[in-house]
Amino acid sequence: MDAKVLIESFAEFARSKNVDRPTMIRILEDVFRAMIRKKFETDENFDVTINADKGDLEIFRIREIVDDNSEDIWDFDKISFSDARKIEPDFEIGEEVYEKIELEEFGRRAVQMARQTLIQRIKDLEKDILFNKYEEQVGEIVSAEVYQILGREILLIDGEGNELILPKGEQIPKDRFRKGDTVKAIVHKVDMMNGNPKIILSRTSPVFLERLFENEVPEVYDGLITIVKIVREPGERAKVAVESYDDRIDPVGACVGMKGSRIHAVVRELQNENIDVINFTDNLDLYVSRALSPAKVTSISANEETKRISVFLKPDQVSLAIGKGGYNIKLASRLVGYEIDVFRELNENEEEDVDLIEFQDEIDAWIIEELKKTGLDTAKSVLALGREDLLRRTELEEETIDEIFRILRQEFEQ
């Protein structure tokens, strides 16, 4: 393989990978200089000129002519007067000899290795370009096409044919994709695994929801409305706290849109995830009340040291505060940064109830705590909920729940 064929084939391959001309020339020169070092031990006195467009390569070895008896005659950049005269008979001592080195002089094996090295260098460069491209896009939305569905992940291809990964844990539980579907997700993280870039996408990250709001709500994109915090149970429910420094803008109204037009597009993308948009405020009591919406809070008591908040509601508001599957109270707690305990407020004509704490001699403390997490703090609130609902809302076993009901009923029978 001569230099012209080698360079032209490499240049064509490099162009197909969108490698720019200066980078292509630099790689070619690096590889040829490596060949020179291997054969001559140094490349310091060599001049390499490459014209990738024409496939031209010129390698010159530059040496100074010294007297045959000179002490410097063995230096890499020196040549004896007699050897110089063999190249050109009119050379004189002190002049420089430019000796052209043909590619064939390196040997066929060296040229083949150079070709393989050039291709590998481009492939490595391509990996670096891909890694840097997506590393800059972490937290941004991308669209890609599904081309293979595996048990623990979905493989997708972007517009340039690069492989992206959407793991099972980063998919919304209700997501159902087929080969050829276009998927929106954010670039979650980019890792280099065994020299290959691994691009991980996510649809469950709060950042994905934030980017969707930016796409649908111009005021968010322009910075007129700030998203303070987002908490999610992907595919089920999300709470978004927003604020605006412009009093003329209603941040909640702008995010929801006329007749819900803006938020509906976001909800559809998230598989009908229920999204609550609330006004952020520094007033903790008001913030908690808004976070527990649609429930109406009667009173609130906060403990700064323990980071717990006791919320009192009328009996008919307790289930609203807890929400389906307990998502409403869980998300509200995460949004405000406090553990929220829900308590029922008795009406004047309501029969006397018994706090669950009174049963701590008969019911383990962790079970009482589990019941309180679902907003059940009294004996009657547990009995009123019923066995099936309690099974669904808690992680307690059937035998444990049956025992709880037996103990509580016995209290009122007495």
Say yes or no: 260 and 299 in one domain: no
Local confidence band at 404 (pLDDT 50, 70, 90 cut-offs): confident
Say yes or no: 304 and 340 in one domain: yes
The HSE-up count of residue 140 (CA atoms within 13 Å, CB side) is: 9
294, part of any domain: yes
Query: Is pLDDT above 60 for 46?
Result: yes
Q: What is the pLDDT of residues 318-355, one digit of tens each?
A: 878 888 878 899 999 999 999 988 887 765 555 566 77
Q: What is the pLDDT of residues 296-308, one digit of tens each?
A: 888 898 888 888 8
Among 333, 350, 367, identify where a domain stops.
350
214, part of any domain: no
Query: Is pLDDT above 90 for 281?
Result: yes
Long-range pairs for 350-357: beta carbons < 8 A, 24 or more residues apart: 350/315, 351/380, 353/378, 353/379, 353/380, 353/381, 354/378, 354/379, 354/380, 354/411, 355/379, 356/382
Which pLDDT score, from 0 to 100, does residue 348 have?
53
Mean residue pLDDT of the chain comes to 86
212, part of any domain: no
Local confidence band at 414 (pLDDT 50, 70, 90 cut-offs): low
Local confidence band at 196 (pLDDT 50, 70, 90 cut-offs): confident
Say yes or no: 274 and 288 in one domain: no
Which pLDDT score, from 0 to 100, does residue 111 have?
80
Give the end-to-end CA distance of the chain in Å, rounded to a whole number: 101
Query: Is pLDDT above 70 for 393?
Result: yes
Among 107, 132, 157, identify where a domain stops.
132
Local confidence band at 22 (pLDDT 50, 70, 90 cut-offs): confident
Lowest pLDDT segment from 16-25, 82-91, 127-136, 313-322? 16-25
Local confidence band at 101 (pLDDT 50, 70, 90 cut-offs): confident
The HSE-up count of residue 114 (CA atoms within 13 Å, CB side) is: 28
Phi-psi domain of 232 (left: phi exceeds 0; alpha: psi -120 through 50; beta: other)? beta
Cα separations (Å) of 287 from 230, 253, 281, 318?
A: 14, 17, 6, 18
The domain that contains 299 carries what CATH number?
3.30.300.20
Rounded to an integer, the average pLDDT of 384-401 is: 81
Residue 357 structural domain: 352-414
215, part of any domain: no
Say yes or no: 378 and 361 in one domain: yes
Rounded to an integer, the average pLDDT of 208-225 is: 94
Q: CA 152, CA 155: separation in Å to the nearest integer? A: 10
Q: How crowded is residue 229: how many other Cβ atoms within 10 Å of its Cβ?
A: 15
Q: CA 31, CA 8: separation in Å to the nearest integer? A: 15
343, part of any domain: yes
Which pLDDT score, from 0 to 100, does residue 272 have?
92
Say yes or no: 299 and 316 in one domain: yes
Higher pLDDT, residue 84 or 156:
156
Query: Is pLDDT above 70 for 1?
Result: no
51, part of any domain: yes
Domain count, the chain: 5
Say yes or no: 8 and 121 in one domain: yes
209, part of any domain: no
Rounded to an integer, the average pLDDT of 70-75 is: 85
Rounded to an integer, the average pLDDT of 263-281 is: 93
Say yes or no: 35 and 81 in one domain: yes
218, part of any domain: no
Say yes or no: 75 and 185 in one domain: no
Say yes or no: 68 and 128 in one domain: yes
Which pLDDT score, from 0 to 100, does residue 136 have?
92
Which pLDDT score, from 0 to 100, does residue 2 have?
65
Say yes or no: 329 and 316 in one domain: yes
Tokens standing for 126?
A: 């391509």
Say yes or no: 266 and 305 in one domain: no
The domain that contains 9 carries what CATH number?
3.30.1480
Query: Is pLDDT above 80 for 52?
Result: no
Among 103, 132, 161, identify where a domain stops.
132
The domain that contains 388 carries what CATH number?
1.10.150
The domain that contains 186 carries what CATH number?
2.40.50.140
Q: CA 84, CA 404: separation in Å to the nearest integer? A: 105
Say yes or no: 124 and 15 in one domain: yes
List phi, psi (to 5°) of 134: -80, -25
